[in-house]
Chain A
């Protein structure tokens, strides 16, 4: 019954929710304060403009990058090439990782074989694959794809595996009683039951893949937003570097929002929304 009575705004627990108006006001104040501080540092002239452009300078540079090519292409074209690579690597990670995870969840022997390999490779930072990626697949699309794959693959496998392992035993027994084959068991019982865990994994993996892409492009690419930033860095244009960061952040955010939408749509359909 105490659940229906909200705690009053007492000094005891400062975690009590604020009313929306106060929250918006404070949030706006924080944002304005941040931009003002940034602008003040830039305008004070203590730091040369090349190193500390104002928010307005960055916005202008961003607009210019959309129209004039820099490092070979306009910002949109760089972004498209980044997104293309990303989809390749991420798609590959999902396409290989999910089935592998499900199979590991069903066949104990496969689990025992793959897990030690996985443990061994776990501590190799995805970015450490850069030299081999470049050596084996070049710097066009293959090399970066391998690096994105290295970043995005583990969460796919781990969550599909966990999802499959967490299927209620009675579901499996019921399916056994119906005489399902291994293949049907995996596709029609494990997969649907593992979907929430899989989607959570795909979300993590989508984020890590995007991060790895940025790293790959900083080091081994000849186009893409990461490449644009490296070129901006080389010509000591902080405004270009920051524009690249903004573009990367926005796309990363859109990816996350997209996957979240799918996640909540699936959860709603399953009656867990």
Chain B
């Protein structure tokens, strides 16, 4: 079992010597092999949720557990894909992807095989010896996803992974991710502020409220997807054309709109 369970999680942060609640009453479980997306207004603490699952930050109270084990530090069993890609600029594509395997003592022969597999899976073949700065943003994020996949992690934590990409590249990457999820399903926690992206990719979408962040509603997308068989479409625009998709999207938009403070646009 590789699920992610948040139990009564609260997190405060400190500014100008005062404590502010950032997250409150988070009770959520991401099921095994489920793709769960969190959307919410900026500042609602959605990235903090992901970072707590990654072991990069810790709850002020409550617990976060992955696969039944409480998270106390970051590790390769919970691979993170960062918005800023976070590739090592001095390592080639192959070295970046293989770095986690090296660090965890995987033998050279097996390492080479696994890196080659994931290079092919992510359409990166031929770029093995390129350095990150020689690649476009989309290609860099492919490398970052490959670096996470190659570790064969229990869960994948994706923090607005397509936030830094242009609109066209973003669409391509979203389609790739759906393809990847079909070939190789994983437990995924996906943070985004793009509603359509969340509905297109996720099995369930969590809508969060503004600060202090709480869970506003959890929307079941998988049943709608199955009922209307979105999977028959190859292209994202065809899915987005479906009345069921539009309906879900509008519903989430309304929920977010209620959270909007007067100073937001």
Judged by CB atoms under 8 Å, the answer to whether A and B touch is: yes
Q: Chain A interface: which of B38-46, B98-106, B149-157?
A: B38-46
Chain A residues within an 8 Å CB radius of B15: 4
In this complex, how many residues of chain B approach chain A with their Cβ under 8 Å: the count is 18
CB distance from A269 to the nearest CB of B (A): 27
Interface of chain A, main secondary structure = loop
The reply to whether B58 and A10 form a contact with Cβ atoms under 8 Å apart is yes
Choose among A1, A6, A7, A10 the residue that contacts B42 (Cβ–Cβ < 8 A).
A1
Binary flags per residue of A1-31, CB closer than 8 Å to B gives 1, else 0: 1101111101110000000000000000000
Given contacts A6-B13, A12-B73, contact A1 B45 (CB under 8 A): yes
Across the interface, A5 reaches (CB within 8 A) one of B22, B73, B74, namely: B22
Instruction: Verify B45–A8 contact, CB threshold 8 A.
Output: no
Q: Cβ of A8 and Cβ of B43 under 8 Å apart?
A: no
> Does B48 belong to the interface (CB within 8 Å)?
yes
Pairwise interchain contact B57-A7, C-beta atoms closer than 8 A = yes
Q: Could you tell me if B14 and A2 are in contact, using CB atoms closer than 8 angstroms? A: no
Q: Which of A5, A7, A10, A11 contacts B45 (CB 8 A)?
A: A5
Chain B 49-65 interface 0/1 with A at a Cβ cutoff of 8 Å (1 = within): 00100001110000000
Cβ of B214 within 8 Å of any chain A Cβ, yes or no, is no
B189 CB → nearest A CB, Å:
15
| Distance between Cα atoms of A12 and B58 in the complex (Å) | 12
Q: Is the CB of B47 within 8 A of A2?
A: yes
Chain A proximity of B158: nearest CB distance (Å): 14
Query: Nearest-CB distance from B212 to chain A (Å)?
Result: 12
CB distance from A18 to the nearest CB of B (A): 14
Taking the nearest CB of chain B, how far is it from the CB of A273, in angstroms?
20
Chain B residues at the A interface, C-beta cutoff of 8 Å = 11, 13-15, 22, 42-48, 51, 56-58, 73-74
Residues of chain A having any CB pair with chain B under 8 Å: 1-2, 4-8, 10-12
Between A and B, 27 residue pairs with Cβ closer than 8 Å are A1-B42, A1-B44, A1-B45, A1-B46, A1-B47, A1-B48, A2-B48, A4-B13, A4-B15, A4-B43, A5-B22, A5-B45, A5-B47, A5-B48, A5-B57, A6-B14, A7-B57, A8-B57, A8-B58, A10-B56, A10-B57, A10-B58, A10-B73, A11-B73, A12-B56, A12-B73, A12-B74
**Top-5 shortest CB links A-B:** A2-B47, A1-B43, A5-B13, A1-B42, A5-B48
